């Protein structure tokens, strides 16, 4: 399919619960891929080097036209750079049934130039540990109606895999969960493929790719993300030159999830 990417600079920016305060330090780190279908943004993504974008495998079938949008406003036209997508690589073990291995790479037709507003995100390296409660940020155009003209962001804590499996019964080691268990904050439809990041010292590290959930921002139903650290070897094997930057994220202390005991008696159903 003929896809066009438009890269725009990120400035002030503001998913279910809007909170713009933390994003002033994140905006220069990554840009976003949005798929436009009937005028609606369908998916997101992250720039990981000058020629490659990381996104979700389940987004690929929805591509008809794409924008790599770093701008806070959807209609902003300054500092726009357009690129076609030259190649799409979907993880060979992606399952449309379980949504496992929900990850894909998009190669741009030609490299982009980094600026103060367009830079790649660091990726979580193999061995990274995101303890239960680790602060994380997710960004995208989201699903609020009417559709937002400004890029949205939400701060959510990591929910450990033991606890998340207890709540959802659909979680594999290739996934990482995050959300507020009381509800009200979450990624949603339209954010899929976009990055979830956490800060370690001065670096923002992408821990997850927005994958799926059961509704949006519902109590005790955290969002599920593809765990980026599980795919370091896969990503590096497919990008021959200018390898993306991988950084090991290490949470301090013991993970509360390691001692979590599930009390739930019945699984969640869609």
Q: Which of 34, 100, 102, 128 is catalytic?
A: 102
Report whether pLDDT(33) > 80.
no
pLDDT confidence of residue 76: 46
Spans of all domains in the chain: 4-14+16-259
Q: Which of 34, 46, 58, 100 is catalytic?
A: 58
* pLDDT band at residue 170 under the 50/70/90 scheme: confident
Q: May I ask the CATH architecture of the domain 4-14+16-259?
A: Beta Barrel (2.40)
**Residue range 248-258, pLDDT digits in tens:** 999 988 898 99
Q: How far apart are CA 243 and CA 19, in angstroms?
A: 33
Examine the residue annotation and report whether 186 is marked as an active-site residue of this protein. Answer: no
With residues binned 3-state (H G I as helix, E B as strand, rest as coil), the percentages for the chain, rounded to 5, are 15, 30, 55
Examine the residue annotation and report whether 265 is marked as an active-site residue of this protein. Answer: no
Least Cα distance to 11 among 61, 57, 73 occurs for: 73
Please say whether the beta carbons of 164 and 224 come within 8 A: yes
Examine the residue annotation and report whether 192 is marked as an active-site residue of this protein. Answer: yes
Q: What is the mean pLDDT of residues 161-167?
A: 93
Least Cα distance to 60 among 21, 40, 89 occurs for: 89
Q: How far apart are CA 105 and CA 91, in angstroms?
A: 8
**Residue range 82-96, pLDDT digits in tens:** 677 788 899 999 999
Q: Which of 34, 72, 128, 192 is catalytic?
A: 192
Q: Which two tokens stand for residue 116?
A: 């103060």
């Amino acid at each position: 399919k003929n896809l066009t990417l438009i890269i725009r600079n990120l400035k002030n920016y503001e998913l279910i619960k809007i909170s713009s305060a933390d994003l002033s330090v994140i905006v220069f780190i990554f840009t976003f891929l949005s798929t436009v279908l009937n005028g609606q943004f369908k998916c997101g993504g992250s720039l990981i080097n000058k020629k490659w974008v990381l996104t979700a495998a389940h987004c690929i079938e929805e591509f008809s036209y794409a924008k790599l949008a770093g701008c806070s406003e959807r209609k902003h036209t300054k500092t726009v750079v357009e690129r076609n997508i030259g190649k799409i690589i979907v993880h060979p073990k992606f399952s449309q049934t379980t949504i496992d291995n929900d990850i894909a790479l998009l190669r741009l037709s030609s490299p982009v130039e980094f600026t103060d507003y367009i830079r790649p995100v660091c990726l979580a390296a193999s061995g990274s540990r995101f303890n239960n409660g680790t602060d994380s940020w997710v960004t995208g155009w989201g699903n609020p109606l009417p559709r937002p003209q400004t890029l949205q962001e939400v701060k959510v804590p990591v929910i450990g895999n033991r606890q998340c499996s207890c709540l959802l019964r659909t979680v594999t080691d290739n996934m990482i969960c995050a959300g507020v268990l009381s509800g009200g904050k979450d990624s949603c439809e339209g954010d899929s493929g976009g990055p979830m990041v956490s800060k370690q010292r001065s670096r923002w590290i992408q821990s997850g790719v927005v994958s799926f959930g059961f509704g949006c921002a519902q109590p005790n139903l955290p969002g599920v993300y593809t765990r980026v650290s599980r795919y370091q070897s896969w990503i590096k094997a497919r990008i021959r030159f200018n390898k993306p930057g991988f950084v090991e994220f290490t949470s301090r202390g013991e993970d509360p999830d390691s001692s979590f005991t599930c009390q739930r008696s019945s699984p969640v159903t869609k």
